[in-house]
Amino acid sequence: MKIISRVVFLLAVLLSIGSLNTAVSAETQIVNRIAATVNGRPITSSEVRARLMPYIRELMMLYPKQGPRFSAELVKAKKAVINELIERELVLSEFETKGMMLPETMVEEELNRRILYQFNGRREELLNTLRQSGMTLNDFRESIRKETTVAAMRSSRYDRGIPPTPDEIRAEYNATRSDYRDISQDTITYEKIYLSAAALKEGETAEQLYALAEDLKKKIEKGEVSFAEAARAYSSDQHADDGGLWPPMKRGDLAVDFANIAFSIPPGELVGPLLDPSGFTIVRVINKQLAPAPPLSKVKEAVDDAVRRKQSEKRYREWVDRLRESAVVRTFI
């Protein structure tokens, strides 16, 4: 299911709000071209788009009318992605004569990690994103191989200092233990009002539907109407009669973009209108139950690596800056 295509369709055909519609639509239609080169090594636009797709989906949900905030966040995300890819090629260019080979298992582990943390464990969501960006799964694997190679090269060059102490490892684990959770098992309870474009009467527009969603949100915030009353009167989903209250849901059972937004909302905060593939949503989180972190014994090696990376970060940054100064870097988008 092509989420981006459906979102762009809604914006262009239903909302007719176009500050970035043309730019986003055109971007998704480009099959591939060169986005940048580093010492002659190409970075393709499909790779940039593949990395940007999750950001774009969330931004379009959060800012249905787009506008300055949407534009600023999109520009910032695009700049960060291109800089990351440039840095990757700088390091690969420096080490390409080393002939370093990675075990295929490392690439597969990283691929599975990204599917879990970026796509709620849904492989099909990754494949949809790749199709929309014009990137093949083999291309994506090669991109992961490059990044994993860079990480290994960095480790061999800069992360071989004095081993972290048990106290340092424990402190790092305590600070970052949530990063090692199986987030697809997180559970959330929320209230939701879903205003469906399919419920529009003849002559009504999605602009009016969006205005209704904004008005409902304001009335709920002011206490003029309760969330449950508004849900029973206007919501079109299966829990409208329950006042919009959904039963506890696992993160892995939710749409990826909705899950990413919902789990970032503090309990009690009212958010919306969010752009849905066929309407608008207002949501309020009741509570969240996060999956437990694995014990240190199971992730000790990863935590050890994280401590070493932090200890060597300054020297690594200085080295990358020197590489950039002597490199020929060109960007085209």
Per-residue pLDDT reduced to its tens digit, 291-300: 999 999 999 9
What is the pLDDT at residue 176?
93
Q: Which phi and psi (to 5°) does residue 88 adopt?
A: -60, -45
What is the pLDDT at residue 15?
39
What is d(CA 331, CA 38) in angstroms, rounded to the nearest whole number?
9
Q: Residues near 232 by Cβ (< 8 Å), separated by ≥ 6?
A: 240, 241, 243, 244
Per domain, the residue ranges of the chain are 3-158, 160-179+300-326, 183-289
For residue 303 the two structure tokens come to: 């935590």
Identify the segments of the chain with pLDDT beneath 70. 1-32, 96-102, 159-161
CATH number of the domain located at residue range(s) 183-289 in this protein: 3.10.50.40
pLDDT tens digits for 113-168? 888 877 878 888 888 888 877 888 888 888 888 888 888 777 777 766 678 899 99
Buried b / exposed e along 305-331 (16+ C-beta atoms within 10 A): bbbbeebbeeebeebbeebeeebeeee
- Same CATH fold assignment for domains 3-158 and 183-289: no
What is the pLDDT at residue 165?
92
Strand order through the sheet with 329-331: 41-44, 34-38, 329-331
What is d(CA 95, CA 107) in angstroms, rounded to the nearest whole number?
18
Report which of 119, 115, 239 is spatially closest to residue 189, judged by C-alpha positions: 239
What is the pLDDT at residue 188?
96
What is the pLDDT at residue 1?
30
What is the pLDDT at residue 56?
85
CATH number of the domain located at residue range(s) 3-158 in this protein: 1.10.4030.10
